[in-house]
A and B are shown apart, each in its own frame.
Chain A
Amino acid sequence: MAPTVPTQRVSVIGGGGNVGAAVAYALITKGVAAEVLIVDVVDKAALGQALDISDAAFLMPGVCRKGSFQEAGQSDVIIVTAGARQQPGEPRSNLIDRNYKIIKSIMDSLQPIKPTAKILMVSNPVDVLTHIAQKTSGLPCNQVIGSGTFLDSGRLRNALSEITGVAPSSVHAYMLGEHGDNQFTGWSSARIGGRPLLEHPKMQGADLDGINEKITRKAYDIIEAKGSTYFGIGICGATLAQALLNNTSQVFPITHYVEKYGCYMSWPAAIGSAGVEQSFDIHIDAAEAKKLDVAVSATREVCAKYE
């Protein structure tokens, strides 16, 4: 019998690792794609993860299997979780150099890439690596995005949900800028039920800087308690892939090329099967503009090396 070709394929490059496998698991349990490929330079790890996830195939729609780089290049969405981990004492510029080589090698192995494919970068530093992925893949800017501050915005919404008593999905607040130490909360644009968040009775006297810091530290807290983080980012990756595959036009705070600032940064964008459809120039006040300036300058400085 001739093998049938699925219409929706998502590949996870780096799927042998904890983050990649969590993304693949989320894709399967959310029923996002017809086929999920686990691709990794470590063959045994990729096989193990694919076997474990596909064990539940009888209960879930979609197929999960180990795949090759060539097959991954023919995906509708290519999620990259592979990357170098910072060694103790390693300067950031060195880490980024190592990651450049890895990303370039991945993009070369994926060629020829399906012209309509979207790349979703998850590896850190995500904003810089999204830029590198676009440069080395040859895909148009709007088809290369990064998870950016989407997860951080979710953590922010969880924190604000606890304070205000409103469901996280109804608290419209974003973490913005450069995912990492330079990220900042868009307090001035935050809303609940159409009203400014800062006017909510439970937000009076809240330690805004404290909340911001707590969110930025969340990853470290989780790593300290359980060794690494992957469930949160797993769902984030799957949610973004779902929007791309199903052409939902949902708005997320993600890494994409923002014309106004001339660089890849975490900013709200509507995404669908064309990739980025619209970018939203969210309102920021003077204090937030200062923080954005720091984030943009930092990213542009690093990206200039990799044009």
Chain B
Amino acid sequence: MDIMLADVNEKLARGQAMDLADAAWPSSHRVRYADIQEAGQADLIIITAGARQKPGETRDDLLDRNHAILQSILDGLKPINPKAVLLMISNPVDVLTAIAQHITELPKCQVFGSGTLLDSGRLRNYLSKLINVRQTSIHCHMLGEHGDGQFVGWSSARIGGVKLDQFPEMEMVDKQQIEREIARTAYSIIEAKGATYYGVGVCGAILATSVLQNSHDIQCVSCYSEKWGGYVSTPAVLCSNGIDRVLELDLDEEETAKMENAVARIKDQTRRFIQ
């Protein structure tokens, strides 16, 4: 595999590429610096560039700063490989994914974002400890708009085919408290070490693997939903073209209202930047 690193800070990108090349040689992968034009020709383009979330700063505060950065990046990538899959990771991810699709005019299936993948993972990590079952066997998703507008799809949650609420360990559980704790995880990590990157790094790598290997596995990502009429985080099947199909969960009344709110919020924020 050939991995290219592009960044407005060329010196830093070259330094990272050198360090990563030192890590890549045992598995015969190649890592190098590339300018943004060349990056636009890749099969998969991952965007992590953006202003860093400051301790205490909400994701929405980032939007103005990150939109300007995104516009500049997308201009630099031109002419973008028409077959490229674009994976957005920068925050606020759902909005930036929608904006990126609009600006590049790539097919909607080819543009998706990491969305609530990590949050879904945190939820599954939590439930895994509670019920003592491996995360991969817990089917429970964080949905909506990654950030303060995300919510758990409790009504569709299952473990080994059994509804989550039927497990005795769930009797004493305060679901709202779980949601609050998971939402705070990023802030806790930033407070302790200054930034979060290892967790989201693995997420990016896993999504990249799904695309490059055409794996058709299901992950919760920010994708274009026909049902909701916009980009939002919901489970989807991943393939070499990006999104193969979006799964529309059976949501109860409360969750449906939350989903409608999330989609509306994303559209509102996107509207500010799309004429």
Contacts and interface: CB of A to CB of B under 8 A. Distances in A.
B56 interface: no
Contacts, number: 129
Nearest to A169: B28
Given A58-B124, A58-B128, A225-B12, A230 B26 contact: no
Interface string A285-301: 00000000000000000
B132 interface: yes
Which of A56, A169, A227, A235 has the most C-beta atoms of chain B within 10 angstroms of its own C-beta?
A: A56
Contact of B19 (A1, A58, A232): A232
Contact of A154 (B26, B132, B194): B26
B16 interface: yes
Contacts of A47: 192
Interface in B131-154: 132, 135-136
Residues of A contacting B: mostly = helix
A168 interface: yes
Interface string B180-209: 000001001101111011111111011000
Contacts of A51: 185, 188-189, 192-193
B121 interface: yes
B272 to A, nearest CB: 31
B202 A56 contact: yes
A49 B135 CA distance: 21
Contacts of B124: 58
Contacts of A44: 192-193
A229 interface: yes
A151 B22 contact: yes
Nearest to A51: B189
Interface residues of A, number: 45
A239 interface: yes
Nearest to A60: B202
B20 interface: yes
Contact of A58 (B11, B15, B21, B135): B135
A158 B29 CA distance: 11
B122 interface: yes
Interface size of B as a range: 35 or more
Interface string B24-51: 1110100000000000000000000000
B125 interface: yes
Contacts of A57: 121, 125, 128, 135
B198 A225 contact: no
B14 interface: yes
B25 A154 contact: yes
Contact of A45 (B20, B125, B192, B202): B192
A234 B26 CA distance: 12
Given A59-B206, A225-B15, A226-B19, A239 B26 contact: yes
Contacts of B194: 48
Interface string A173-185: 0000000000000
Interface string B197-238: 111111101100000000000000000000000000000000
A25 B22 contact: no
Given A45-B193, A57-B125, A225-B15, A52 B198 contact: yes
Contacts of B125: 54-55, 57-58
B145 to A, nearest CB: 20
Contacts of B132: 1
B18 interface: yes
B21 A21 contact: no
B118 to A, nearest CB: 6
A305 B106 CA distance: 67
A3 to B, nearest CB: 10
B192 A226 contact: no
Interface of A: 1, 21, 25-26, 29, 44-45, 47-49, 51-60, 151, 154-155, 157-158, 161, 167-169, 218, 221-222, 224-227, 229-236, 239
29 contacts: A48-B192, A48-B194, A51-B185, A52-B193, A52-B197, A52-B199, A53-B199, A55-B198, A55-B199, A56-B198, A56-B201, A56-B202, A57-B135, A58-B120, A59-B121, A59-B203, A155-B22, A158-B21, A158-B22, A169-B26, A221-B15, A222-B19, A222-B22, A225-B11, A226-B11, A227-B15, A230-B19, A231-B23, A232-B20
Interface of B: 11-12, 14-16, 18-26, 28, 118, 120-122, 124-125, 128, 132, 135-136, 185, 188-189, 191-194, 196-203, 205-206
